[in-house]
Structure 1
């Protein structure tokens, strides 16, 4: 009997140790910063030529480098500010996606630049030229964006009018930011394919990409995140923040999104009590809604801004 109990305990201990090791790997895979932009998914390769034209535009356009310090003088958050070509007080702050940076949002920046907007393109924590060992999936970023908003108002003036725009993780960042105490200069928000919570997103990806169950891995990854970043993953919720939002918001989501499934857009939409609109883009995969038909995308943005921004 004693040998049997010892064997059972050894097997259990080995299982727990394996689960912890796998969870540590998953945390590093998902949360550790990257200093490069991963190659686009196979279904986005057909847009590469157009994408790089926008990047070349961004590299050549007149812009200012902005920073603010976090922690100490050697840790800075970074952004690029592109002044309006017509001296407008309209501003868009564009939030990039997971493992991207401000430059990867060049097509959206050009869209707003052509409308006469000033543009701010931050690099989020753990991305691009900004500090941070880990990616916070919008939760800490939302607080950084409050500082970016203050810097925009200081630069453009008290009469500035601000749109918050984001795609993928950037959309979730905008959604989480919506629940904070925003200044009156922020007029409306646009969120393209954002997740409803990191809990739903990670458990979905655990199953889809790694064929792993929620338990014990999600709670273990959440505990690791708490030790490294100071909060549990259940704190990261777009829907809970959207319940506090009082600004107009436009949700956009690809019908065939298999990375952030479109039902999350419906959850975000239902959680919102303010003025809201929803566009499910037929045939579009994750973050493809602009690329699949740029003219239609721009028209939807124009119609929304005509209604809620002007």
Structure 2
């Protein structure tokens, strides 16, 4: 499958200066098509995009790493979707919030932490646990990193190791995602992110401020990965071969798992409706730095998109609408492809 319109939209994204460059791949059953276009760095000097560089994938850490560790613990009966957060994090006082609420971003956890990015790891840990549940509890899906920071800490409480160590041992190593890491050794192998007024050019160090402070105790961001490793991850999920979670979860991930059952959110993943061959759901997730994954288990197709949309400057809000349009173009093209097969 060529995906001419999707590729054209990706290249136009770069030509219009919305992102410096894009590394992308399409998976069609056993066939994989890869591509790259543009630059990896604009400031302080131009660098062309190179194959298989490491990207700070930001919130893809949630679905590649933390979610799979949590689902493994549920399969091992060390945890349940109905378990209370307070059973594992006693400093958290609200006994209504469960593992399901965290995974579906329906916990309603809210609150303001003054000078958050200037706190130490211990101070930020304590401050996050003093946040409260607001009016959105169960009735509205509100995406928030704190849900997955808590999930990481819950995994740590059960297994006694930092969440990023657990992701390495339980997901990355078994899938042979050998280039993926939380601590890149060579910054030149990493695509840079923002030119920050306080941190300078961020390259080879996590962009997310909470992950930067919490380090290996952060389950919401922090992973660096390559196109090939994320292709390997998608293939494991699509083809049920060495996947990091038990087989039955693959079906569960295509269902709305929110308490009200109508908020288009699965366990960590967001849902995308399609109509082929019958109505079913793709799953997808994005990362703040300019990354996303799409998976369609029904047709065994997927897309990997890696950019550094925060380079040289964040937040680059113009990217979001263009990203969504690219995803819609991809879904339309793959649907036409599947109809003809």
Larger Rg: 1
Looking at secondary structure, tell me which structure has more helix per residue: 1
The two structures have a TM-score, normalised by structure 2, of: 0.23
Instruction: Give the structure, 1 or 2, with the largest relative contact order (CA under 8 Å, sep 6 or more).
Output: 2
